[in-house]
Chain A
Amino acid sequence: MSDNAPAPAAAPVPAVPPSAEPPEPSRGETLLREMLSSSWVVTTLAIVLALVISGVLIAAADSTVQSTATYLFARPSDFFSAAWHAVTSAYVALFQGSILDTGAPTFVRAIKPLTETMTVSVPIILAGLGLGIGFRAGMFNIGAQGQIILGAVFGGYIGFAFDLPVGLHVLLAAIGAAIGGGLWAGIAGFLKARTGANEVIVTIMLNNIAVYLIGYLLTTSAFQRPGSNNPISPPIKATALYPHLLGSQFRLHAGFLVAIAATVFVWWLMDRSTIGFRFRAVGANSKAARTAGISVNTNYIWVMVIAGALAGLAGSAQVLGTEKVLSIDVAASFGFDAITVALLGRSKPLGTFLAGLLFGALRAGGFAMQARTGTPIDIVLVVQSLIVLFIAAPPLVRSVFRLSSGSSRRSTRSVKEAAA
């Protein structure tokens, strides 16, 4: 299918390949398209390249390396071994902190990092899946952050305010979270459908509103923990918690199963259901979709509601699984990581799932790296940003790796779309 087609190279085609695109592709859409069409090879190479460049930065930030650099020409070997040591120990720590702690005394402690990675990746994956649906439907939804928060608020409230039987309670809390996120995102979808309001701006605004909303709610008697002055809710009732998957010595909870189920669901939705067919049609050519009797506006709303529901579930994983309490920063920056993850996974469910795990690993491992080697955790941010940068610029990656985009494949697709 289309994703196997080679990425359009930056051939000096006289003008944009037209016709296939909706009437006026904005700059954001063009960027989006470029990201989505890059191949798996480029993705992998982008990750490698990002790690290499970050390695240079790690070395540069290392104090031993800095001091050996002062006598670089006298004893270059010192410098290089110091640099090598700094980079390898940082990446080893990153690995040990995110996948397998090879130096750990017990088995439980050895695999704990992997379970942490999985735990951290749950909200990123769930929110990323939702964003991916939006991207494929042509909607640049930046609002996962706010949708996660609203999901956490709804799910958390049901979780601490009600007494319900085991099973039912967590189910209702999760559903509530999905509804919360869905409604919040639905506002942006509704405004776009009704007034043509740009979803980018609306969702960014909704993010801000959500942050202030949760801040305010946690000062009200309905939400604030009795007897506490901190903006924090009562603990979630045990009946509303996602059960632990591997016993209580690990944080890993059933939210991970929700993420797997959601991945399969989104695949089915987008590739096997009439709803996803319409979403993709609207995203790829809204005029043709309209002519075929598909209501573009209705689909805008549904895309947002479903994306928001998934982000809401991400919120539920935080509040009902990982944090077990509703607090101001319950969403951390997962909503923004999710944007990167959805783009990295090219908005496909499996890709998003894997990219989410990668980001979870970077996050979990970053702490270990900072603790053990003193490498600032910000390096993780650098890695993430570089990955995105390289994914967004496939020609750059190709030229670094001297990967010809294939002479005969050159621009096949862009040309064909134009010159059919």
Chain B
Amino acid sequence: MKLELRGITKRFGSLVANDHIDLVVEPGEIHALLGENGAGKSTLMNVLYGLYDPDEGQVLIDDAPVTFAGPGDAMAAGIGMVHQHFMLVPVFTVAENVVLGHEPVRGARMIDLPRARRLVREISDRFGFDVDPDALIENLPVGAQQRVEIIKALSRDANVLILDEPTAVLTPQETDELIGIMRQLKAAGTSIVFITHKLREVRAVADVITVIRRGKVVGSAPPSAPETELASLMVGRSVDLGVTKKPAEPGEPALRVAGLSVIDHAGVLQLDDVTFEVARGEILAVAGVQGNGQTELAGAILGLQKPVAGSVLLDGTELVGAGVRDTLRAGVGYIPEDRSDDGIIASFSVAENLILDVHDRPPFARGISLDPATVEASATQRVDEYDVRLTSVQDPISTLSGGNQQKVVLAREMSRPLRLLIASQPTRGLDVGSIEFVHRRIIAERDVGTPVLLISTELDEVLAVADRILVLYRGRIVGIVPQKTDRDVLGLMLAGVPLEEAQVQAAEHHTALGAADIIATQEERS
């Protein structure tokens, strides 16, 4: 199926989110859409999927104009979409979610659940997914939820599949799997529109790349184009993809975590006797595959979760048992890993979201009275400083693009004096330019002497920003290693292999990327 968008324009009030966009997706093509946060990618895809009506322009399928009154029409026309944020019913099972909206029925309009289950199994088998059709969505990790979304789109025999930042929440392994699936689909003739901020992925899988900036198509590139070229095309200036930073000058230890153990609601030991220190002026990265205790570690330090054992000393003060509010007051900045769940309140304005944890302190409050003028003025300043793209700070934050929402969280947490910064997946969903910016902010924070705990599943990020790396596996520390550690060794440690053994194994068998790193390090040394 050939898909064409012709002259699509979509306005939100005075803001032109899509400005006469032309796009052709050939059958069996993987078409990557690149663009900064707020460039208008999701908006364009929502137009294509029938969620928004374009103000101007046309959608053509096999050269015939079509109009979609809603996603139902788009689905019927063979278009499937996996949204940037999941659209799953948390209390339904996988099978129920997959068939929601076109439930197979049996007899007197009874949902044919066995058939739904079979459908899920069939698709999972075909693509090598591992999902239990009877699991409740709310009990699944994000990666698995992502797969459910994909199964859902595939179950409707989509000829064109839209994937809006599907890899933002996936682990590297999961991303590899997804790329494999995309290749399989392509081989079967499905066209894919693939949105991502990760240039590496684009280059690995795309056939054609279209770059959008501020609502306009600014160019296209072959996947062989160098990353720096793609990046500068996206952002409109040259971007420094590597992070330049001075070596750390660690001071005395500021955060001491000792023997910390956390048991979750289900009674599972999620964090097992974790001990480490972070010094002033040092970035300790916690690397690990999602779900290996990182969430619990951050939660326990912040006071969201009560540890069963251990202590967390910040500058000599015990934080365990202090409560979230007092911990934040003590000067802890926290960037939560799941922005929409824990980081923002969707219906609140941008200005209100910027004061969530400081709303009752001067200058925003006098006594119990809020000062809207100060709140707004400070919001305007923050938004400028962090280059958040929006129309008004009084708009609900839900009208911002995903990446811009993330910048609001960062702006809130990093613009007060800190004694500890905990950043969980701080660049999730950000474009390359913004990632560069955030990394520089985190390093600047380190350079003024703040201890930083960076929790990231992104090995690139860990290697780029960290001074030391702590590897977590199944809630235990596999090892704490210096930043200059071989990528392959780290990869093995992420899978639970202890340092010495990982070094032996890595020496025997190098992957392409790891080898490249080693050469680079050697060149640097000589």
> What is A's interface to B at a CB cutoff of 8 Å?
1-2, 5, 11-20, 23-24, 272-275, 277-278, 280-281, 284-285, 287-295, 407-408, 410-413, 415-420
Contacts and interface: CB of A to CB of B under 8 A. Distances in A.
6 contacts: A1-B394, A18-B90, A19-B340, A290-B342, A291-B304, A420-B401
B100 A272 contact: no
A417 B345 contact: no
Contact of A417 (B88, B341, B398): B398
Nearest to A22: B341
A415 B396 CA distance: 13
Nearest to A409: B53
Contacts of B323: 293, 295
Contact of A14 (B87, B91, B347): B87
A23 B137 CA distance: 12
A11 B51 contact: yes
Given A272-B369, A281-B345, A15 B88 contact: yes
B89 A16 contact: yes
Question: Nearest 7 CB-CB pairs, A to B?
Answer: A20-B346, A293-B325, A19-B340, A292-B356, A292-B357, A274-B360, A291-B342
Contacts of A24: 90-91, 138
Nearest to B370: A272
Nearest to A417: B398
Contacts of B70: 11-12, 410
B336 interface: yes
Size category, B interface: 35 or more
B365 A16 contact: no
B347 A274 contact: no
Given A15-B100, A274-B360, A418-B87, A290 B304 contact: yes
B55 to A, nearest CB: 7
B288 interface: no
Contacts of B52: 408, 410, 412, 415
Given A12-B71, A19-B346, A277-B359, A407 B53 contact: yes
Contacts of A273: 368-370
Contacts of B401: 420
A16 B85 CA distance: 11
A293 B327 CA distance: 8
Interface of B: 12, 42, 45-46, 51-53, 55, 70-72, 83-91, 97, 100-101, 138, 152, 164, 302, 304, 323-329, 334, 336, 340-349, 352, 356-357, 359-360, 365, 368-370, 372, 394, 396, 398-402, 405
B347 A420 contact: no
Contacts of A289: 345, 356
A284 B345 contact: yes
Contact of A280 (B53, B55, B100, B348): B348
A1 B397 CA distance: 10
A138 to B, nearest CB: 12
B399 to A, nearest CB: 6
B345 A1 contact: no
Given A11-B51, A16-B87, A420-B85, A288 B359 contact: no
Looking at A16, A23, A277, A407, the one whose CB has the most chain B CB atoms below 10 A away is A277
Nearest to B406: A420
Nearest to A285: B345
Nearest to A295: B325
B396 A13 contact: no
A1 to B, nearest CB: 6
Contacts of B89: 15-16, 18
B396 A2 contact: yes
B53 A408 contact: yes
Nearest to A5: B396
A254 B276 CA distance: 66
Contacts of B336: 291
Looking at A1, A11, A287, A420, the one whose CB has the most chain B CB atoms below 10 A away is A420
A412 B398 CA distance: 10
A280 B356 CA distance: 11
B346 A274 contact: no
A18 B400 CA distance: 16
Contacts of B342: 287-288, 290-291
A274 B349 contact: no
A19 B341 contact: yes
A274 B329 CA distance: 16
A341 B505 CA distance: 71
B347 A19 contact: no
A284 B347 contact: yes
Nearest to B86: A18
Given A23-B90, A277-B359, A14 B324 contact: no
B370 A291 contact: no
Contacts of A293: 323-329, 357
A17 B53 contact: no
B457 to A, nearest CB: 19
A419 B42 contact: yes
A419 B84 contact: yes
Looking at A14, A23, A407, A408, the one whose CB has the most chain B CB atoms below 10 A away is A14
Looking at B83, B91, B401, the one whose CB has the most chain A CB atoms below 10 A away is B83
A135 to B, nearest CB: 13
B71 A14 contact: yes
Contact of B71 (A5, A13, A16, A272): A13
Contact of A419 (B55, B164, B304): B164
A160 B151 CA distance: 70
Contacts of A412: 12, 52
Contacts of B91: 24
Contacts of B71: 11-14
Contacts of A13: 51, 71, 87
B398 A288 contact: no
Contacts of B369: 272-274
